[in-house]
């Protein structure tokens, strides 16, 4: 059976299934609302216009879908891995330096993709067996758990009962919608949860509506296009600062692909191939840098939506990308979504991140990993504690995130540890 002929019967809408027009809008908005908070947080922290970040994420996702021939349901949003480097460059040289760094990281992706196209990706099976993949997927889901919990509890550093009440009510309603609604409503529990949580937050008085009133209906994003808004020049510091981080985000890229492989019952490392997925990600980063946005990468939140709804359609992802670009020009709607308070997003995240973590656990169960073997126990233990604990490796401006560090250490341990510990060897 060819890739096009295969259909995942567990999916409500498989990768190439096209939803009905009315359903299409709701399903795409669900993805857009899910990723919005994280995608606009990055430019806010760096000092970039959130509107342009929306546009660049939408354009980046379209480029990714085009390069991967519409075979992978992945949405790309602003990458957190580059925040520290971008903040430093913004203070020293402004956005042109960030753009050059973003374009450089994209070029690194393209170079690595060409190398992989030449040598193949069979080596992945050796360095990423189930005992490494399962815990890494769990870390992807649980690594941000503490952030979700903190956003649900703290208002400017102070414990706020209203915040946790809104988060828990949002969580409860999202679970209710997921369990008891059917038909089209059963496909959009996340969107319904966000809308319900927002209304609850309004009732609790924790939504700042002033920016919504002040926002214009139509607003041109602050594009930063080379030779139009600025004259590019060489920023060697930007290149040396951001290029190494590309290898960190590549690790996250591979981790997200592993989750998607499990959800969709496909092997994207083989078709369309890791070279294509890296090329798509790299091209998207270059496009983001050319229009004025931060570097983009695939988003765990959107993978969680795929897992919960079992709607894996690339048409839905493409629709979310179109809405993101359009929304970048609608100031009033952008302000509404930007006003969604942290507790609402946290209530949704408790479900989304947990579902991803459960997918990692399922990998271990399906492959019948034997934890009586010390090698398996040690690899899983190191990955989980380092990844979830938030251990970060820093050297000057280079930073290896906890998820990337946990993955690298898991791979190393799997390659160097013997299959059987001395204490497990049977005496003659």
- Three-state SS for 363-386 is HHHHCCCCCCCHHHHHHHHHHHHH
More confident of the two residues 340 and 285: 285
* Cα 410 from Cα 408, distance rounded (Å): 5
**Whole-prediction pTM value?**
0.78
Q: What is the pLDDT of residue 397?
A: 61
d(CA 44, CA 33): 17
Model confidence at 428, pLDDT cuts 50, 70, 90, reads very low
- Mean pLDDT value across residues 308-329: 93
Cα–Cα distance between 65 and 277 in angstroms, integer? Answer: 9
- Cα of first residue to Cα of last residue in the chain, in angstroms, is 50
- Helices vs strands, H then E, count in the chain: 19, 6
Map residue 345 onto helix, strand or coil: helix
Do residues 144 and 300 touch, judged by C-beta distance below 8 A?
A: yes
Distance CA 266, CA 378 (A): 29
Whether the per-residue pLDDT at 28 is higher than 90: the answer is yes
Q: 177 with 189: CB under 8 angstroms?
A: yes
Q: Which pLDDT value is given to residue 142?
A: 85
The β-bridge partners of 398 are 395
Query: What is the C-alpha to C-alpha distance for residues 409 and 402, in angstroms, rounded to an integer?
Result: 10
> How large a percentage of the chain has pLDDT more than 90?
47
Cα separation, 204 vs 209, whole angstroms:
13
Per-residue burial over 53-92, b = 16 or more CB atoms within 10 Å of its CB, e = otherwise: bbbbbbbbbbbbbebbebbbbbbbbbbbbbbbbbebbbee
Closest by Cα among 44, 346, 89 to 243: 89
Distance CA 302, CA 390 (A): 22
Q: What is the pLDDT, as a whole number, of residue 2?
A: 54
Q: Which of 137, 139, 171, 133 is nearest to 152 (CA)?
A: 171
Structure token pair of residue 134: 């399962």
Q: Give the percent of the chain with pLDDT over 70.
A: 97
Residues 198-237: tens digit of each pLDDT: 999 999 999 999 988 998 888 888 899 999 989 989 998 8
> Residue 226 region, left (φ>0) first, then alpha (ψ -120 to 50), else beta?
beta
What are the pLDDT digits (tens) for 109-144? Answer: 999 999 999 988 777 778 888 899 889 888 877 877
**Phi–psi pair at 393, nearest 5 degrees:** -105, 120
Give pLDDT tens digits for 58-115.
999 999 999 999 999 999 988 877 887 888 889 888 999 999 999 999 999 999 999 9
To which residue do tokens 């992807």 refer?
140
The more confidently predicted of residues 163 and 194 is 163
Identify the CA nearest to 392 among candidates 258, 248, 295, 257.
248
| pLDDT at residue number 161 | 94
| Residue 83 · residue 46 · CB < 8 Å | yes
Distance in angstroms (rounded) separating the CA atoms of residues 75 and 21: 20
Number of C-alpha atoms within 13 angstroms, CB side, residue 370? 6
Q: Cα separation of 407 and 393, whole Å?
A: 13
> Rounded distance, CA 337 to CA 341, Å?
9
Residue 427 has pLDDT above 60, yes or no: no
């Amino acid at each position: 059976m060819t890739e096009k002929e295969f259909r995942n019967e567990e999916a409500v809408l498989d990768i190439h299934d096209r939803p009905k027009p009315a359903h299409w809008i709701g399903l795409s908005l669900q993805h857009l609302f899910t990723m919005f908070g994280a995608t606009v947080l990055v430019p806010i922290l760096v000092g970039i216009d959130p509107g342009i970040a929306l546009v660049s994420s939408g354009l980046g996702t379209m480029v990714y879908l085009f390069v991967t021939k519409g075979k992978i349901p992945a949405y790309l949003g602003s990458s957190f891995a580059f925040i520290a480097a971008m903040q430093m460059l913004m203070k020293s040289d402004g956005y042109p330096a960030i753009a050059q760094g973003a374009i450089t990281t994209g070029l690194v992706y393209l170079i690595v993709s060409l190398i992989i196209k030449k040598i193949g990706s069979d080596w992945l099976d050796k360095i990423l067996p189930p005992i490494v993949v399962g815990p890494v997927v769990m870390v992807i889901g649980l690594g941000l758990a503490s952030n979700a919990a903190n956003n649900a509890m703290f208002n400017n550093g102070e414990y706020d009962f209203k915040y946790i009440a809104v988060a828990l009510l949002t969580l409860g309603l999202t679970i209710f919608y997921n369990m008891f609604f059917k038909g089209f409503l059963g496909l959009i529990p996340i969107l319904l949860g966000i809308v319900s949580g927002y209304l609850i937050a309004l009732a609790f008085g924790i939504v700042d509506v002033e920016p919504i009133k002040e926002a214009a209906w139509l607003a041109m994003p602050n594009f930063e296009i080379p030779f139009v808004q600025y004259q590019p020049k060489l920023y060697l510091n930007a290149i040396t600062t951001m290029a190494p981080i590309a290898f960190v985000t590549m690790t996250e890229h591979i981790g997200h692909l592993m989750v998607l492989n499990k959800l969709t019952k496909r092997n994207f490392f083989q078709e369309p191939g890791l070279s294509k997925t890296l090329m798509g990600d790299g091209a998207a980063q270059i496009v983001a840098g050319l229009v004025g946005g931060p570097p983009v990468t695939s988003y765990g939140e959107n993978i969680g939506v795929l897992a919960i709804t079992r709607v894996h359609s690339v048409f839905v992802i493409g629709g979310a990308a179109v809405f993101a670009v359009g929304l970048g020009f609608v100031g009033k709607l952008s302000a509404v979504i930007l006003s969604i308070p942290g507790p609402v997003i946290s209530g949704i995240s408790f479900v989304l991140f947990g579902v991803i973590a459960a997918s990692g656990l399922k990998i271990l169960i399906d492959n019948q990993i034997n934890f009586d073997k010390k090698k398996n126990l040690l690899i899983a233990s190191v990955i989980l504690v380092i990844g979830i604990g938030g251990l970060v490796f820093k050297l000057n401006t280079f930073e290896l995130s906890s998820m990337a560090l946990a993955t690298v250490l898991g791979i190393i341990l799997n390659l160097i540890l013997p299959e059987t510990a001395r204490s497990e060897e049977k005496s003659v």
